[in-house]
A and B are shown apart, each in its own frame.
Chain A
Amino acid sequence: MWKTIIRRILLMIPQILILSILIFVIADFMPGDPFTGLIDPNLDPAQLEAMREAYGLNDPLPVKYVRWMRNAFQGDFGRSFNYQQPVTAVIAGRIGNTIRLSLLSVILTYLIGLPLGILAGRYNESVLDKTVLVYNFVSFAVPIFVLALLMVWIFGYNLNWFPARGSISINAETQWEIWMSQLYHLLLPSITTAILGTTSIIQYLRSEIIDAKVSDYVKTARSKGVPIQKVYTKHIFRNASLPIASGFGYTIVSLFTGSIFIEQIFTYRGMGYLFLQSINTRDYSVIFVLVLFYGFMALVGTLLSDLILMAVDPRIRID
């Protein structure tokens, strides 16, 4: 098993390298540079050129790339021109917000998805099952930004149940108030994410449970006298949750990446919002690190998912 893990990790290195070169080249094509916005009549073009030279913006691409990589290995991922501080500090300032939002979203997703999936599978063909199927279909089809807008409009602006924007209220003073205010701001975006996030959980759980109901091990358990409730909680659920476990790696990774649409619509200052801001301000160093981070996270997610599946399902431990 360790052999597999080490081999997979080694395979990640070339992928990350190719990704970094690709994005570095693309970022170089982006129009303008961080100084374009600074042009004002008082600044002499020669001086601007000198600044570009000083920041190394005029160097050939491979030189810039090697310099960046060398610094990255020493923990220096470049400076954000927009914020005038290290990229790591900019990201560190936002990632907390994203983790909080995603964590609540994931918890709500499982709180909605698990019971609905189990009940729909157990009582399939019932009214409940049919309702869940309709919900499952809608959650698969609806684009997230449309639902998010409708939620903000209905619950944020018209009913005033939840704050429509931001991540914290300016009136919060004590620690307790800060926490409560943060939680209150998180509710609407995370409920929206959770409503659409349950699709695969419900689909897998339901169909696995329906399949398991007629399987031999369930018949055996029933005929030796295991109560039906216990058959569901101990026998069927364990097997039916395997496909969900396999997706858990991606779930963990999604905690750090968040959603561009949700953060944009709820004006929630997390990673996705930072990305859009950086695109608009041409803050390449931040864009570059963000995309690299997301790509790295996707790789980690795949690895984690395989590892989790190996851990919970002894049948697929391969070397």
Chain B
Amino acid sequence: MATNKDAEAVVSDDMAASAPPMGMKVIAREFMRDKLALVSLILLILILATVFIWSFIVDQDVVQTVSLWDSYLPPMSMSEDPMFEGTRYILGTDSAGRDIFGLLLIGARNSLILGWSVTVVSSTIGIVVGILAAYYAGLVDNIIMRIIDFIMILPQLMIIIIFVTIVPNYNVVSFAAILILFSWHGQARFIRGRALTVGRLDFISASKTMGTPSLVIMLREMMPNISSLIIVNLTLNFAGSIGLETGLSYLGFGLPTGTPSLGTLVSYATNPDILENKAWVWLPASTLILVLVLCINYVGRALQRAADAKQRLG
């Protein structure tokens, strides 16, 4: 009898010790284990904080003021315009004498906000469509998948460029809408694949038999089971959206003129003279894109490992 109780105690102790760590704990452990991921995360937070706090403090009209005296000043030079007496341009100026450092921060803020909005909206559409397709299967799934298959064969970059040129009253919102229009389908496909596996599990069938409304099954039972994947994908797509936006802005089919972005700063480099001799104009923006995209992706990878018990390092 006593031995039996001891055994039970041992078992319950073991249970306590081996209770699977959940949520934030797993993520924190993953980041502590992978120092590079931790560095990426801290760097990312630092960049985000600098960009957003700075753009609150500084008067953006001053940054965007044109001053022809200051055209293409190299980094660390003093302003030659009597209006800006005593200003030092840490990263130099562009053709219109605007401070590259200021433009860089405003541009980074615009690129980050746009990238994030596009990612969130297109992911939401993707999740809704994906779960609907997986839950109802059959005809609904077939129709949705044919549509997605069709979008997949479109030469994405070209179609986006064509849309950008035909939209009347082109502005930031229409640009974001065009990007969303051509990026939700990848999400939907991915989510549908995962949701199909979840939808086949017994507890979903049991729930259906018990008469749980479809909406509740989708939101409360299927969604939580793919939530970690959704978070991972949000991160990875965020990096992708920034890459796409800056790339399009670089080609001149991105954010409208007057809205600086990291891409518009890089696009100064389409002029061979600036590319070769005035690297301070485009190099900081390129570097910032590189750092941002690498950090976000690395954090995303760490989250991905945390979401899958088989891949965890910690």
Complexed CA–CA distance, A141 and B297 (Å): 6
Interface residues as binary, B163-182 with A (CB distance below 8 Å gives 1, 0 otherwise): 10110100000000000000
In the assembled complex, which residues on chain A have CB atoms less than 8 Å from the CB atom of B243? 143
In the complex, are the beta carbons of A31 and B158 less than 8 A apart?
no
Identity of the chain B residue whose Cβ is nearest the Cβ of A291 in the assembled complex: B158
Distance in angstroms from A121 CB to nearest chain B CB is 17
Identity of the chain A residue whose Cβ is nearest the Cβ of B168 in the assembled complex: A31
In the assembled complex, which residues on chain A have CB atoms less than 8 Å from the CB atom of B247? 143-145, 261
In the complex, are the beta carbons of B289 and A298 less than 8 A apart?
no
In the assembled complex, which residues on chain B have CB atoms less than 8 Å from the CB atom of A146? 246, 266, 286, 289-290
In chain B between 256 and 314, which residues have their CB closer than 8 angstroms to a CB of chain A?
Answer: 266, 269-270, 272, 275-276, 279, 282-283, 286, 289-290, 293-294, 297-298, 301
Query: Of B152, B154, B165, B282, which contacts A30 at CB under 8 A?
Result: B165
Interface residues as binary, B122-158 with A (CB distance below 8 Å gives 1, 0 otherwise): 0000000000000000000000000000101111011
Distance in angstroms from A279 CB to nearest chain B CB is 6
In the complex, are the beta carbons of B239 and A141 less than 8 A apart?
yes
Q: Which of A55-63, A96-104, A148-156, A223-231 is near enough to bind chain B?
A: A148-156
Distance in angstroms from B241 CB to nearest chain A CB is 11
- Asked whether any CB of chain A lies closer than 8 Å to the CB of B250, the reply is yes
Identity of the chain A residue whose Cβ is nearest the Cβ of B300 in the assembled complex: A141
Complexed CA–CA distance, A165 and B276 (Å): 12
In the complex, are the beta carbons of A276 and B297 less than 8 A apart?
no
Q: Could you count the A-B residue pairs with CB atoms below 8 Å apart for me: how many are there?
A: 96
- Asked whether any CB of chain B lies closer than 8 Å to the CB of A299, the reply is yes
Query: Of B276, B289, B297, B301, which contacts A153 at CB under 8 A?
Result: B276
In the complex, are the beta carbons of A143 and B289 less than 8 A apart?
yes
Query: Of A138, A145, A295, which contacts B266 at CB under 8 A?
Result: A145
Query: Of A143, A152, A275, which contacts B158 at CB under 8 A?
Result: A275
Complexed CA–CA distance, A152 and B239 (Å): 24
Identity of the chain B residue whose Cβ is nearest the Cβ of A32 in the assembled complex: B165
In chain A between 182 and 196, which residues have their CB closer than 8 angstroms to a CB of chain B?
Answer: none
In the assembled complex, which residues on chain A have CB atoms less than 8 Å from the CB atom of B41? none
- Asked whether any CB of chain A lies closer than 8 Å to the CB of B76, the reply is no
In the complex, are the beta carbons of A140 and B297 less than 8 A apart?
yes
In the assembled complex, which residues on chain A have CB atoms less than 8 Å from the CB atom of B294? 138, 141-142
- Asked whether any CB of chain A lies closer than 8 Å to the CB of B161, the reply is yes
Identity of the chain A residue whose Cβ is nearest the Cβ of B242 in the assembled complex: A143
Distance in angstroms from A120 CB to nearest chain B CB is 17
In the assembled complex, which residues on chain B have CB atoms less than 8 Å from the CB atom of A27? 162
Complexed CA–CA distance, A287 and B155 (Å): 12
Query: Of A137, A141, A279, which contacts B161 at CB under 8 A?
Result: A279
- Asked whether any CB of chain B lies closer than 8 Å to the CB of A54, the reply is no
Query: Of A30, A141, A144, A264, which contacts B166 at CB under 8 A?
Result: A30
Identity of the chain B residue whose Cβ is nearest the Cβ of A165 in the assembled complex: B272
In the complex, are the beta carbons of B152 and A137 less than 8 A apart?
no
Query: Of B152, B153, B266, B293, which contacts A149 at CB under 8 A?
Result: B266
In the complex, are the beta carbons of A142 and B272 less than 8 A apart?
no
In the assembled complex, which residues on chain A have CB atoms less than 8 Å from the CB atom of B289? 143, 146
In the assembled complex, which residues on chain A have CB atoms less than 8 Å from the CB atom of B290? 142, 146
- Asked whether any CB of chain B lies closer than 8 Å to the CB of A38, the reply is no
Counting chain A residues whose Cβ lies within 8 A of the other chain, the interface size class is: 35 or more
In the assembled complex, which residues on chain A have CB atoms less than 8 Å from the CB atom of B269? 149, 153
In the assembled complex, which residues on chain B have CB atoms less than 8 Å from the CB atom of A18? 150
In chain A between 115 and 144, which residues have their CB closer than 8 angstroms to a CB of chain B?
Answer: 137-138, 140-144
In the assembled complex, which residues on chain B have CB atoms less than 8 Å from the CB atom of A15? 150, 153
In the assembled complex, which residues on chain B have CB atoms less than 8 Å from the CB atom of A257? 155
**Are A264 and B251 also in contact (CB < 8 A) when A142-B290, A142-B293, A298-B152 are?**
yes
Interface residues as binary, B208-240 with A (CB distance below 8 Å gives 1, 0 otherwise): 000000000000000000000000000000010
In the assembled complex, which residues on chain B have CB atoms less than 8 Å from the CB atom of A152? 275
Complexed CA–CA distance, A28 and B154 (Å): 18
Complexed CA–CA distance, A295 and B286 (Å): 31
In the assembled complex, which residues on chain A have CB atoms less than 8 Å from the CB atom of B155? 257, 291, 294-295, 298
Complexed CA–CA distance, A302 and B158 (Å): 19
Complexed CA–CA distance, A142 and B239 (Å): 9
* Residue in B163, B166, B282, B283 whose Cβ sees the most chain A Cβ within 10 Å: B166
Query: Of A23, A137, A294, A298, which contacts B301 at CB under 8 A?
Result: A137
Distance in angstroms from A290 CB to nearest chain B CB is 7
Complexed CA–CA distance, A23 and B154 (Å): 10
In the assembled complex, which residues on chain A have CB atoms less than 8 Å from the CB atom of B266? 145-146, 149
Complexed CA–CA distance, A127 and B146 (Å): 45
**Are A141 and B293 also in contact (CB < 8 A) when A152-B275, A260-B157, A276-B251 are?**
yes
- Asked whether any CB of chain A lies closer than 8 Å to the CB of B159, the reply is yes
Complexed CA–CA distance, A146 and B111 (Å): 15
- Asked whether any CB of chain B lies closer than 8 Å to the CB of A179, the reply is no
In the complex, are the beta carbons of A295 and B154 less than 8 A apart?
yes
In the assembled complex, which residues on chain B have CB atoms less than 8 Å from the CB atom of A150? 286
Using a CB–CB cutoff of 8 Å, the interface residues on chain B facing chain A are 150, 152-155, 157-159, 161-163, 165-166, 168, 239, 243, 246-247, 250-251, 253, 266, 269-270, 272, 275-276, 279, 282-283, 286, 289-290, 293-294, 297-298, 301
Given contacts A146-B289, A294-B155, 17 further A-B contacts (CB under 8 A): A19-B150, A23-B162, A26-B162, A27-B162, A30-B166, A138-B294, A143-B247, A145-B247, A145-B250, A145-B266, A260-B157, A261-B247, A276-B251, A279-B165, A279-B253, A291-B159, A298-B152
List, sorted by A's number, 16 A–B pairs whose CB atoms are closer than 8 Å. A26-B163, A29-B166, A137-B298, A140-B297, A141-B239, A141-B294, A141-B298, A142-B290, A145-B246, A146-B246, A165-B272, A257-B155, A260-B157, A261-B251, A264-B270, A291-B158
Closest 7 CB pairs of A and B: A294-B155, A143-B243, A141-B297, A298-B153, A157-B276, A29-B166, A30-B166
